[in-house]
Structure 1
Amino acid sequence: MNILNENGPERWPAFRKLGFRFSFIFILSFILVFNNGTYPLYGYISTPLTHFMQRLTPWFAENILGYSYDHSIFINGSGDTSYAWVSLLILLLLALVGAALWSILDRRRASYTSLFYWLTTAIRYYVAFMLINYGLYKVFYMQMQPPRLTQLLQPLGEYSPMGLAWTYIGYSQGYNILIGSVEILSGLLLFRKTVVAGALITVATSINIMAVNYFYDVPVKMVSTALLLFSIFLLLPYLKALFAIFISGKPVQLLPIQQPLFNKSWKRKSLFIAKLAVLLLFIVQQGMGILSTKKMIAEYLTKSPLYGIYRIEQAGTQGKSIPEDWRLIVFEIDNNKVLIRNTDYTPQRESVVIDAAGKKITLNNYQFDYQINPDGNILLTKTFNEHTAHIKLIKQDVQAFELIQRKFHWIQEYPYNR
């Protein structure tokens, strides 16, 4: 199946030309609308298109589909919003209509070899840049974080499927580096001569990403599916060759898709400079993004002055200043919130204000003085008119958790599965 190959037939069959026209319009429009910050500086250039889609999509949803949703929600942490799916439908319809009109107006065209090259170039850079970005965030351990204190206390049944997947992947930095490194290998797509190897890697990588997104309800199903389909599209000209290699065991030569020839020296130099500029901008963008994200994570994950898990002991205290059924309290991030687990182990978030300099803490609308003992336990005291309340927070050993305590072992006489 030597489809759309420079070395293939000079004239394409009608169905092939129709398929290309649809693919050209749909893929390019998808990349433009769902760019996800992939191309350097594209976010600034695409502002008019973004504003246009944010007006067209809600109108189309309500007036054509009769579908109502919260119009203030566009593309956020979720890539599978109502806005995204309706926008995808618009792009599909645009591609169908556009392909039909194009076929009528350009029916005498023999082939689209040059346009196919430029389309594959756009796809190669889109898939490579996106997966390199994902890979770098995993290698630098920024996408999935190790389990936090609140998660160590969280029963399995309280996890969402996505939370379970994020915790599973985030637990191991080594695993993050491994899968991130494989995603970075998609950079092979940036070079014409290695596009087959790169596309095979991105197919396998995208299937893994899709599996997690689909089966653990991670809301990036649309984009991950696109990554797989785009990677397969890059392999279409090589299907016969790949079948010969992997199935028939025959030797074949994988010829790269021929780049359109430029008869002017300045055009060739301009193309080289443009490619170099895009790659340099991407490298700078990734570097700045990593530094910015690491700073943001560090600020967000600033530890509380009382960081730790504590068991609450207030036996014998008169005039309870905190609810009697509170059993555990977790100070983790310095964000004026703590996690409480009561006697039923029900989780609840409570506001807290900690004055580390004055050794005071406001909890449950009471202000306590606190003292940290050498053993890590905390003593809260609150003086009322007729008595003084003493509440002891007994620090729990986080290292005692099986998930934290258990390390790598070369030799295991029996499986250690708990």
Structure 2
Amino acid sequence: MDTPVLANSSVWSPLKKLGFRFSFIFILSFILLKNNGTFPLFNIISKPFIALSQQFTPWFAKHILHYQYDYAIFTNGSGDTSYDWVVLLVLFLLALLGSAIWSLLDRKRKNYDIGYYWLTLFIRYYIALMLINYGAIKLTHSQMPAPGLSRLMQPLNEFSPMGLAWTFMGFSKGYNIFVGLVEISAAFLLFRRTLVLGALVTIATSINIMSINYFFDVPVKQLSTALLFLSIFLLLPYLRPLNNFFFKGEPAQLQLLARPVFQKKWLKKGAPWLKIGFIAFVVITQVMGLFSRQKLMDHYFKKSPLYGIYRIEDKNSELYTLPSDWSYLIFEGENQVTIRDRYYKAHYEETRPDTTAKTISLNNFTFDYQVADNGDIVLKKTLEKGVEEIKLIKQNTADFELNKRSFSWIQEYPYNR
């Protein structure tokens, strides 16, 4: 077995060694269970540990903490479930116990220089790959898409804080691209020479992500907080020179993180190529994942053949087929229509327009429909008393205040509506 060595080994204090042991157990176990699709194929390795966690955590919550929640709910679209927070506590307690036992069994060790290097390697790649993943999705404007028709017709008092944040972020493709590029710049962490720069960038990035998650109640608080603290952890050895440079105005030198040297030549020569191959693999899987994601979005978010917002034309006579208080029909998704009544309350119905037979079902009636050249739709339903005809007047979304206002270099007055 080829054991890597460091050219310059140091002697650590007992407190530093204890801190490393705790950090090593806690951080690596967190990464193992909270991979979030970061490391490629890592889900295969973590699968048995996640299964064990899903068995132990509910038991621990019920019998030790006496904390009641729906034990069938694990990590899902929310990363802040009861399960997630109890897991975090379990990992913390295991790290305390594990570091205590480790300290008793390994009291004579002078340092953990090599272990520290491999720990920071996992952390660097974990932060970088996760942010690169999120950044790449933002470049394609697919994490927070532009507000659709239903959003455009939704009054502000119906928005949740998270929905408001998502709509704000999704409105501007340019802003998504900018944020995506900033997140992708976490790639600086993949290289030792740019480690400090990368950590400074990811601290700023994760603070921004945290602020949105905390103040807009986005349920990724735990993970975004972890990104911040892990980024700070990487900077701990550089706090003194950074303080001298930024706050004292003194010259400072950053010591390059020492890398273990393998004794065998084939390992020494193969390590750089392994890194190049891994990064290439990540890039390829990212590109393939973006294409796959786009295909899924095209499949699951198909537009209705009658896509648009329509106002129901007012008539003097009462309608038999549609409620008299219906005001707008919004055809957006393939199989659903959103109805807004005169009080602007939202209703939803399943509907599937038959473009061949030119029929559509609404309010338990099947209508024949015709689309005029200007986009208006005429619905017809044959009843015993005759044919009922309803005109749907298509609204021009380009006239909406949010859509018609574009970027302006010169503004004589603020345009705040």
Q: What is the TM-score with the length of structure 2 in the denominator?
A: 0.96
- 1:277 Cα offset (Å): 3.3
* Distance (whole Å) between structure 2 residues aligned to residue 124 and residue 318 of structure 1: 67
Partner of 1:222: 222
CA contact (8 A) 1:138 1:176 kept: yes
Secondary structure of the equivalent of 1:329?
strand
* Distance (whole Å) between structure 2 residues aligned to residue 47 and residue 270 of structure 1: 29
Post-superposition CA distance 1:194-246 (Å, at most 9, x none): 00000000000000000000000000000000000000000001001101111
Secondary structure of the equivalent of 1:147?
coil
Q: How does 1:353-368 map to 2 (within 5 A)?
A: 353-368=352-367
Q: Residue type matched to 1:114 in 2?
A: I
* Distance (whole Å) between structure 1 residues aligned to residue 388 and residue 61 of structure 2: 60
Partner of 2:105: 105
1:183 aligns with 2:186: no
1:376 aligns with 2:375: yes
CA contact (8 A) 2:9 2:111 kept: no
1:166 aligns with 2:166: yes
* Distance (whole Å) between structure 2 residues aligned to residue 318 and residue 103 of structure 1: 82
Q: Residue type matched to 2:184 in 1?
A: I
* Distance (whole Å) between structure 1 residues aligned to residue 182 and residue 208 of structure 2: 11
* Distance (whole Å) between structure 2 residues aligned to residue 269 and residue 126 of structure 1: 24
* Distance (whole Å) between structure 2 residues aligned to residue 241 and residue 180 of structure 1: 30
Partner of 2:68: 68
Partner of 1:341: 340
* Distance (whole Å) between structure 2 residues aligned to residue 145 and residue 62 of structure 1: 40
Partner of 1:193: 193
* Distance (whole Å) between structure 1 residues aligned to residue 319 and residue 110 of structure 2: 89
- 1:300 Cα offset (Å): 2.3
Q: Residue type matched to 1:344 in 2?
A: Y
* Distance (whole Å) between structure 2 residues aligned to residue 305 and residue 151 of structure 1: 19
Post-superposition CA distance 1:296-324 (Å, at most 9, x none): 11222221111111111252456511111
Partner of 1:393: 392
Q: How does 1:237-252 map to 2 (within 5 A)?
A: 237-252=237-252
Partner of 2:148: 148
- 1:410 Cα offset (Å): 0.3
* Distance (whole Å) between structure 1 residues aligned to residue 62 and residue 254 of structure 2: 49
CA contact (8 A) 1:203 1:232 kept: yes
Please, what is the CA RMSD of the aligned residues?
A: 1.5
- 1:281 Cα offset (Å): 2.4
Task: Name structure 1 gaps, 5 residues minimum.
Answer: 1-5
- 1:8 Cα offset (Å): 9.4
Q: Residue type matched to 1:371 in 2?
A: Q
Partner of 1:91: 91
* Distance (whole Å) between structure 2 residues aligned to residue 146 and residue 9 of structure 1: 54
* Distance (whole Å) between structure 1 residues aligned to residue 363 and residue 82 of structure 2: 40
Post-superposition CA distance 1:368-391 (Å, at most 9, x none): 000111121100000012221111
Structure 1 pair 404/106, CA: closer, same or farther in 2 (3 Å)? same
Partner of 1:321: 321
* Distance (whole Å) between structure 1 residues aligned to residue 104 and residue 96 of structure 2: 13
- 1:113 Cα offset (Å): 0.7
Structure 1 pair 137/410, CA: closer, same or farther in 2 (3 Å)? same
Secondary structure of the equivalent of 1:255?
coil
Structure 1 pair 314/356, CA: closer, same or farther in 2 (3 Å)? farther
* Distance (whole Å) between structure 1 residues aligned to residue 7 and residue 251 of structure 2: 17
CA contact (8 A) 1:314 1:391 kept: no
Q: Residue type matched to 1:293 in 2?
A: R
* Distance (whole Å) between structure 1 residues aligned to residue 71 and residue 355 of structure 2: 43
CA contact (8 A) 1:337 1:349 kept: yes
- 1:412 Cα offset (Å): 0.4
Partner of 1:402: 401
Q: What is the TM-score with the length of structure 1 in the denominator?
A: 0.96
Q: Residue type matched to 1:342 in 2?
A: D
CA contact (8 A) 2:9 2:113 kept: no
* Distance (whole Å) between structure 1 residues aligned to residue 13 and residue 416 of structure 2: 58
Secondary structure of the equivalent of 2:262?
coil
CA contact (8 A) 2:381 2:388 kept: yes
Task: Name structure 2 gaps, 5 residues minimum.
Answer: 1-5
CA contact (8 A) 2:318 2:324 kept: no
Q: Residue type matched to 1:191 in 2?
A: F
Partner of 2:3: none
Partner of 1:3: none
* Distance (whole Å) between structure 2 residues aligned to residue 98 and residue 319 of structure 1: 73
Q: Residue type matched to 2:257 in 1?
A: I
Q: Residue type matched to 1:369 in 2?
A: D
CA contact (8 A) 2:12 2:110 kept: yes
CA contact (8 A) 1:147 1:171 kept: yes
* Distance (whole Å) between structure 1 residues aligned to residue 7 and residue 413 of structure 2: 58
* Distance (whole Å) between structure 2 residues aligned to residue 314 and residue 343 of structure 1: 11
CA contact (8 A) 1:317 1:389 kept: no
Q: Residue type matched to 1:350 in 2?
A: E
In the alignment of these two chains, the number of paired residues is 412
- 1:157 Cα offset (Å): 1.1
* Distance (whole Å) between structure 2 residues aligned to residue 152 and residue 326 of structure 1: 18
* Distance (whole Å) between structure 2 residues aligned to residue 108 and residue 297 of structure 1: 57
Post-superposition CA distance 1:74-99 (Å, at most 9, x none): 11111111111111111001101011
